[in-house]
Structure 1
């Protein structure tokens, strides 16, 4: 089982909103709604590029902006994170069933370590962060890396995502996808099962998303 973090398990996108708008204001500009939507699910490097282009300030130092943003979001994360509806119950059900589980996020390790105070460090067998892979989402590398570390074929995995960027990453890796749109709509696509909320998801649904195993009872979804 492969879980995205921001907007999927916890309602942290609102905290990113605060920090990104504050950074734009420090630059003397205003982040557009379109620019913010384009960042959802993206790596820090891509988000900085989008921000600077949106403000018509491409000369800005991306590393300095990213450092300021990570420090501010760390403060916001530390103040507390709110679970998305149904996310905690689904994660607990998966863990109780003994299903190998990974957190696969575009967020940097330093911020994820803060988020794990809410998520629970024993909730995941593997954690793959955005600054720990050469090619972040929407490339397949994060999900391929998580499946490899879990020791499970990626085609026997279900990825839970909330953004088009994350969905593209999981599909490219070969995982089945349970999509729960949050801030950005997710178009219907082959291999993607859309739900309005994770309150509608359970172990039976996860297992049903996987292709059947010829000649044998299908193993649990992971």
Structure 2
């Protein structure tokens, strides 16, 4: 076992640190009713971890309204999610303890999320803005998850090699993004089951995870010498 900590820990937000996917589900269901339809369960699950643009495309297709203007729906959805976020977010099991342990160990941290900046600022009132050295939001990159750009950007802003970082994710889109970027990946499924993927370490929850455990993931992800 190695005692060397990761150069940084890169945290996804929705479904990983906080139980906000449930809130998105509530708001999307309400938007569907507002649009005169009903959002199907498969469509909602297909949106998990994706960008706003992708989610809205799935939304329109599911409601059978391909020509529906996107911008008004995004404004409505964002306003409703902001209201729900402001009522308070619930931490995922073990997430707060891990985040604080990583900070106590002096390891740099980043929040890497597909959610837009205006909503992330509300969520940070629960998460604690002081707990992140860098925040990369979905509307601040050209190519959001599953593209590697968000995680590559976070590592570059922190000034650390991405291959020395551990990313923590809950969705297939996020896992694909972090893996393609070159980070060691710890996946903790929330709304969606995750199939085993080479190099991705699966756990049921973050309970019991600490910086020493994260260090072992880097060792496990390194090529044999």
Return the TM-score normalized by structure 1: 0.94
Q: Which residue of 2 aligns with 1:153?
A: 161
Q: Which residue of 1 aligns with 2:204?
A: 196
Matched residue SS, 1:200: coil
> Aligned pair 1:162/2:170, yes or no?
yes
Query: Separation in 2 of the partners of 1:61 and 1:132?
Result: 22
**Which of residues 16, 22, 26 is equivalent to 1:18?**
26
Matched residue SS, 1:193: strand
Query: Separation in 2 of the partners of 1:100 and 1:93?
Result: 11
Q: Which residue of 2 aligns with 1:71?
A: 79
> Aligned pair 1:37/2:45, yes or no?
yes
Runs of 4 or more above 6 Å deviation: none
Q: Deviations over 1:95-140 (max 9, x none)?
A: 0000010000000000000000000010000000000000000000
**Which of residues 47, 59, 64 is equivalent to 2:55?**
47
1:93-172 aligned within 5 A: 93-172=101-180
Return the TM-score normalized by structure 2: 0.93
**Bigger RCO of structures 1 and 2 (CA < 8 A, at least 6 apart):** 2
Matched residue SS, 1:11: coil
> What is the CA RMSD across the aligned residues, in angstroms?
1.2
Structure 1: 5+ residue stretches without partners: 215-222
Query: Separation in 2 of the partners of 1:61 and 1:170?
Result: 32
Number of aligned residues: 214
> Aligned pair 1:5/2:13, yes or no?
yes
Q: By how many angstroms is 1:205 displaced?
A: 1.5
Q: Deviations over 1:61-106 (max 9, x none)?
A: 1111111100000000001100000000000000000001000000
Q: Deviations over 1:128-157 (max 9, x none)?
A: 000000000000000000000010100000
**Which of residues 64, 70, 73 is equivalent to 1:62?**
70
| Range moving further from structure 2, 54-63 or 121-130 | 54-63
Structure 2: 5+ residue stretches without partners: 1-8
Q: By how many angstroms is 1:211 displaced?
A: 3.7
**Which of residues 205, 210, 214 is equivalent to 2:218?**
210
Query: Separation in 2 of the partners of 1:127 and 1:186?
Result: 25
**Which of residues 176, 184, 196 is equivalent to 1:176?**
184
Query: Separation in 2 of the partners of 1:201 and 1:170?
Result: 19
Matched residue SS, 1:209: helix
Q: Which residue of 2 aligns with 1:86?
A: 94
Q: Which residue of 2 aligns with 1:217?
A: none
